[in-house]
Amino acid sequence: MQTFRFLPSLALCLIMITSCTHNSSVISPATVASLQSELTERCSADAAQTVLIECGVSQAAALWTAEDGSEQEFCTFVRENYCDTDSQRLALFESLSRILENIYQSADLLTVDLLKPTQLTNASEPQTPDWIMSGYSPLAHFSDDMFANRLAFVCILNFPHFSLEEKNTLGKSWTRQEWAMARMGDVFTTRVPAAVNAALAQANADAENYIADYNIYMGNLRTDDGRQLWPEDKILLSHWNLRDELKALYSDKESGQQKQEMIYQVMQRIIRQDIPQQAINNPDFVWQPYSSQDAAEPYTRYEHILAIAHALFEEDKYCPAAPTGIERNFEEGVEIPAAELDSLFRALVGSPEVKAVASIIRDRLGRELRPYDIWYDGFKARASLNEDALTAQTRKLYPDANAFAADMWRLLTQMGFYSEDARNIAHHIVVEPARGSGHAWPCLGRKEDARLRTRIPASGMDYKGYNIAVHEFGHCVEQVLDMYYIDYYMLSGVPNTAYTEASAFLWQHRDLQLLPQSAIGHQSSAISREAILDQFWSMYEIMGVSLVDMAMWQWIYAHPDATPKQLCEATQQIAKDIWNEYYEPVLGEHDCVLLAVYSHMVNAPMYLPNYPLGHIVQYQLEEHLAGCSSQTEFANEYARIYRLGRLTPKQWMIEAVGAAPSVTPILNAVKNCINQGV
């Protein structure tokens, strides 16, 4: 019998048994104990295998309801479906893997097709049925169906669930196959009704649609003395494009700061919900961000957040092991406790290095810092280049999505991939024009392509769009590597979304290097002084945003009956408190609410912490990859790392670079930069 290899100490066995056992109102504890003893004797189990038997029977019993059958039927089911031998268990694992891959990718392909009108610009204009179906989830009934036909119980019985602590402790000695089998144990851990899943999917889809159309027509903005600062055709999506425009304006020495101040006003009004309703996605409404008193948007932003929260509250009722959306997101999704991330982030934003780097920025700008300087972009190589010239080059290179797709092979080979590998990876990536700012849609099976969605106007891809497209391309390359080049389907993917963000950042950081040298003629080092300072300042910004996001969800769970207005006020206060503690001493302005501007707070609950974690992972990867002697070695090592698949975040990092996620490397690097002078 194949077992997970660990020292079967009594204390550890007891910890595992306790974590796997839940009170059951249908299957009595006596029946559970009897079945555990029977199977242990039948299999002549050693101590380690005994723990697996006890966990499998306990977990299956905990989820067995009266609708599933009588207690006697449960006993018969366990006796007939428990695998006694290594070969039986392996055959079952392979069968379940094939089934899950087929189901996941089939459902995903259906979802992709249904969402085309609402997400892509090359599809038909969305009609009412399209908006309705944008909230449809083909997998909403999956869990119900698998418990009803008992396949879920077969899985639970033979592949019990290990807690995060157990995976991090025991997984140090697991083989790849043992890790894959442990991930099989993560598939069926709760029984959330289909109606609850569907409601959550709908709430998320509604929020996504709201954000996707939150455009600000910059040509319609006026100063209080009536001046127009942007051309008529400048349209920016909140918050992504507003932020990126603000970054780009550092190179505009004439009117850049005046425009930045106006964007800052728009951002604050979005957060406070006193932005005019007519200013959102309206090409005809002219307004003054500093003084407009037009009818404000009702608390729509916060209504969407609460709609998702209420859907999560319903889900909470069916998840006793992780009874809040917060716990499920961090303990089971991110697989790093929220408190651990909070401490990690505060260690950096509260570090003395922040003020030292801020002093460098102040000297370069020649003025006192303003709140929006959290997006200072002057450390990047492109900061010294004219963005209009960059845009002219990218528009010529990429007039449409097809042109970017045709160039993916070159991008991969320039990064160091062998020609044939580059061709194979590019073959599994589809480039599509997005209605929103762009995103990457992963492949969930080996008959499906990764999808790179990018926003390309009729005039061609501007530089901002190119920068985002390279970021999304980094996602897609990772997604192909850990799907098509993985050894076990159950290990496909990465530990959490932060680790795919790290891949995206690795590529995005090299966007200038990836342009044809005849076009730009510029190279940059990923761990140069400027790059280190840029990484650090980006972490400082996004960690504050993430702290606000995490604290907002803590507040929501403490106030489940809150109104949108109350949530709006509470979110602002949270943003002010974090700002006053960590940002006011550096950037000024008491009670600034800017940290609450991110659209992810609306359409992607608790997603934001993945970004700073991704930056942390990226920097550790950069330091590791800096030891490569050639671009080919770089590409080979990058591919090795991203073929590790879905280990826990801690174990993945140890196997990738030899150390767990930490802010210490970037802090040490910044200290060196400051000591050496920049």
pLDDT at 383: 63
Asked whether the beta carbons of 605 and 329 are under 8 A apart, the reply is yes
Low-confidence ranges of the chain (pLDDT < 70): 1-25, 381-384, 437, 517-527, 678
pTM for the full predicted model: 0.86
Confidence at residue 519, expressed as pLDDT on a 0 to 100 scale = 42
Task: With H, G, I as helix, E, B as strand and everything else as coil, classify residue 432.
Answer: strand
pLDDT of residue 56: 96
Which DSSP string corresponds to 579-641?
HHHHTHHHH--TT--GGG--THHHHSTT-TTHHHHHHHHHHHHHHHHTT-SSHHHHHHHHHHH
**pLDDT tens per residue across span 44-85:** 988 888 999 999 999 999 999 999 999 999 999 999 999 999
677 Rama class: left (phi>0) / alpha (psi -120 to 50) / beta: left
The residue count of the chain comes to 678
Domain regions of the chain by residue span: 10-152, 386-483
Can you tell me the distance from the alpha carbon of 421 to that of 419, in angstroms, rounded to the nearest whole number?
A: 6
Name which of 6, 326, 15, 280 is nearest 163 in CA terms: 15
Name residue, tokens 């698998």. 146
As a whole number of angstroms, the distance between CA 356 and CA 359 comes to 5
Q: Are strands 450-454 and 429-433 parallel, antiparallel or unpaired?
A: parallel
Q: In the structure encoding, which two tokens stand for residue 98, read together? A: 């094939």
Mapping DSSP to helix (H, G, I), strand (E, B) and coil, where does residue 298 land? Answer: coil
Q: Cα dist. 637→167, 424, 466, 523 in Å?
A: 25, 18, 25, 21
Residue 611, C-beta contacts closer than 8 angstroms, at least 6 positions apart: 498, 501, 542, 545, 546
Residue 457's pLDDT is: 86
Instruction: Identify the residue whose tokens are 């020495």.
Output: 253
Q: Both ends of the chain: CA-CA distance in Å?
A: 61
Residue type present at position 669: A
pLDDT at 526: 56
Q: What is the pLDDT of residue 436?
A: 73
Q: What is the pLDDT of residues 139-151, one digit of tens each?
A: 988 999 999 999 9
Handedness of CA 115, 116, 119, 125 (dihedral sign): negative
- 459, with CB counted inside 10 A (0-12, 13-18, 19+), is exposed
Which of 400, 437, 384, 364 shows the shortest CA–CA distance to 248? 384
**CA dist., res. 541 & res. 597, Å (int):** 12
Distance (Å, whole) CA 421 – CA 409: 9
How far apart are the C-alpha atoms of 268 and 591, rounded to whole Å?
Answer: 12
Q: Any alpha helices (H) in 185-320, and if so which ranges?
A: 194-212, 240-248, 256-272, 300-316
Place of tokens 């403490």: 558
